[in-house]
């Protein structure tokens, strides 16, 4: 196969229209952050029991997806799959912009975002959070160098090595993100080693779904569709990754269901926890797992429209999964004195209330907008869009 060629995104009304829409999201995001910071977090749904809310759902989604967005580049550079080579540059770009979007949400949700410099200069190396700061910034540096190797013909021979480094880095990064929750021994909803590999599977699935959607979007803006062979390959991959996430979810719940210790938690998440079982069964399992798996595995649905529909369903499932995991995990009360029922004026022993505010959604959507805006603008600045080198049929 011939080496792919690339071009800049041509200027068009459609392109600038999409840029205007995502810019509006960014404006809403920053306005929401300003509102939350100037008034204080009491204007959000977050409180002393549910301390991480919707902004964290968005931030974790974007960070985990950033790692998975590198799939196409990794498959081309590390595993020699030429089919994905035309998408390599876009794949690496997506990884950077999604991560920047996620980190921006995370930083703007801090109680003191103005102290970002403190987070950059004071490190507690016993904290997985501190390690993640290095993993995130390091990932951006590695992928920027990786992109440079792709762009600069004299450096093309190093693409394989950088691809391998970036691949290893992204696995460690997602392990680190999963470990932020896995290391919380005090909370039974989180304290589980399976979270780290589950986050890797989630990154592969969410990242591939986003690759399909954003590639289809960017190709449509240019005026042509996503090449069929590429779409079919990504579609097949997404099917496998959806099953992989389902595997870890099942293992996680079965492990907790086995011992009596976690029966109350499982009952809360799976049966009588109000919104959480609904989001789990309808959002995560039905819409986010079963439906896309059926669509992706069926030969008769092998069209771009159904594939994009399946990818969008995977993203719906992703949000539901992260909402149930992050917020449901906090809403379930900590059993501080086992064997005793607890009541207090500080909401001990009861399910914590959490009603997300518009500002939280605004901030989260602002992060998504920022990721898309930087992604789109970058395609105008540098030659990210492939013009040739596409495979003529599915390679697997």
Contact positions vs another protein (CB under 8 A): 37, 39-42, 47-49, 51-52, 110-113, 115-116, 118-119, 122-124, 126-130, 133, 180, 183-187, 330, 334, 336-348, 353
Q: Which is nearer to another protein, 161 or 187 (CB)?
A: 187
Q: Which is nearer to another protein, 223 or 340 (CB)?
A: 340
Q: Contact 378/384 with Cβ under 8 angstroms?
A: yes
Q: Contact 249/201 with Cβ under 8 angstroms?
A: no
CA neighbor of 53 nearest in space, from 370, 363, 372: 363
Give least dist CB 129 to another protein, A. Answer: 4
The C-alpha atoms of residue 382 and residue 156 are separated, in whole angstroms, by 17
What DSSP string runs through 90-112? HHHHHHHHHHHHHHHHHHHTSS-
Give least dist CB 108 to another protein, A. Answer: 11
CA angle 226, 231, 237 (to 5 degrees): 150
Give least dist CB 270 to another protein, A. Answer: 22
Give least dist CB 341 to another protein, A. Answer: 5
Q: Which is nearer to another protein, 11 or 344 (CB)?
A: 344
Q: Which is nearer to another protein, 12 or 127 (CB)?
A: 127
- What's the token pair of residue 159? 């693409």
Q: Which is nearer to another protein, 128 or 279 (CB)?
A: 128
Tokens 């059926």 belong to which residue?
Answer: 294
Give least dist CB 352 to another protein, A. Answer: 8
DSSP 52: S
Q: Which is nearer to another protein, 88 or 192 (CB)?
A: 192
Q: Which is nearer to another protein, 112 or 154 (CB)?
A: 112
Give least dist CB 198 to another protein, A. Answer: 18
The C-alpha atoms of residue 339 and residue 318 are separated, in whole angstroms, by 35
Q: Which is nearer to another protein, 4 or 113 (CB)?
A: 113
CA angle 223, 227, 229 (to 5 degrees): 175
Cα separation values, 396 from 210, 225, 234, 376, Å: 21, 21, 11, 30
Give least dist CB 11 to another protein, A. Answer: 41
372 three-state secondary structure: helix
What DSSP string runs through 206-271? HHHHHHHHHHHHHHHHHTSPPPHHHHHHHHHHHHHHHHHHHHHHHHHHHHHHHSGGGHHHHHIIII
Give least dist CB 205 to another protein, A. Answer: 25
Q: Which is nearer to another protein, 112 or 157 (CB)?
A: 112
Q: Which is nearer to another protein, 30 or 183 (CB)?
A: 183
CB 28: neighbour CB atoms within 10 A? 18
Give least dist CB 128 to another protein, A. Answer: 7
Give least dist CB 260 to another protein, A. Answer: 13
Q: Contact 376/15 with Cβ under 8 angstroms?
A: yes
Q: Which is nearer to another protein, 224 or 261 (CB)?
A: 261
Cα separation values, 345 from 43, 210, 333, 349, 351, Å: 21, 44, 14, 10, 13
Give least dist CB 100 to another protein, A. Answer: 18
* CA atoms within 13 Å, Cβ hemisphere of 197: 10
């Amino acid at each position: 196969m011939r080496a792919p060629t690339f071009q800049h995104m041509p200027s068009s009304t459609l392109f600038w229209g999409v840029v205007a829409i995502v810019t509006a999201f960014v404006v809403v995001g920053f306005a929401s952050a300003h509102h939350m910071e100037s008034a204080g977090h009491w204007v959000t749904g977050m409180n002393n029991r549910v301390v991480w809310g919707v902004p964290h759902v968005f931030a974790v989604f974007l960070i985990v997806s950033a790692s998975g967005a590198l799939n196409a580049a990794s498959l081309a550079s590390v595993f020699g799959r030429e089919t994905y080579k035309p998408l390599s540059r876009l794949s690496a770009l997506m990884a950077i912009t999604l991560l920047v979007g996620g980190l921006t949400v995370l930083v703007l949700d801090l109680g003191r975002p103005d102290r970002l410099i403190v987070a950059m200069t004071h490190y507690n190396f016993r904290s997985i959070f501190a390690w993640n700061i290095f993993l995130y910034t390091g990932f951006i540096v590695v992928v920027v160098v990786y992109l440079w190797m792709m762009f600069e013909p004299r450096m093309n021979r190093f693409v394989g090595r950088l691809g391998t480094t970036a691949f290893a880095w992204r696995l460690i990064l997602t392990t680190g993100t999963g470990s932020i929750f896995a290391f919380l021994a005090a909370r039974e909803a989180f304290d589980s080693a399976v979270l780290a590999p589950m986050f890797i599977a989630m990154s592969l699935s969410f990242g591939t779904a986003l690759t399909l959607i954003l590639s289809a979007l960017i190709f449509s803006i240019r005026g042509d569709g996503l090449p069929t062979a590429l779409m079919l390959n990504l579609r097949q991959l997404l099917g496998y990754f959806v099953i992989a996430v389902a595997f870890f979810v099942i293992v996680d719940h079965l492990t907790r269901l086995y011992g009596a210790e976690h029966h109350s938690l499982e009952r809360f998440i799976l049966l009588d926890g109000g919104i959480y079982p609904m989001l789990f069964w309808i959002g995560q399992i039905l819409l986010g797992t079963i439906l896309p798996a059926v669509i992706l595995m069926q030969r008769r649905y092998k069209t771009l429209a159904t594939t994009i529909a399946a990818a969008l369903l995977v993203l719906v499932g992703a949000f539901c999964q992260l909402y149930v995991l992050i917020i449901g995990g906090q809403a379930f009360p900590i059993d501080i004195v086992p064997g005793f029922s607890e009541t207090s004026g500080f909401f001990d022993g009861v399910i914590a209330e959490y009603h997300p505010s518009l500002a939280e959604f605004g901030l989260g959507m602002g992060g998504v907008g920022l990721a898309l805006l930087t992604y789109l603008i970058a395609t105008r600045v540098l030659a990210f869009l492939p013009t040739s080198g596409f495979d003529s049929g599915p390679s697997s």
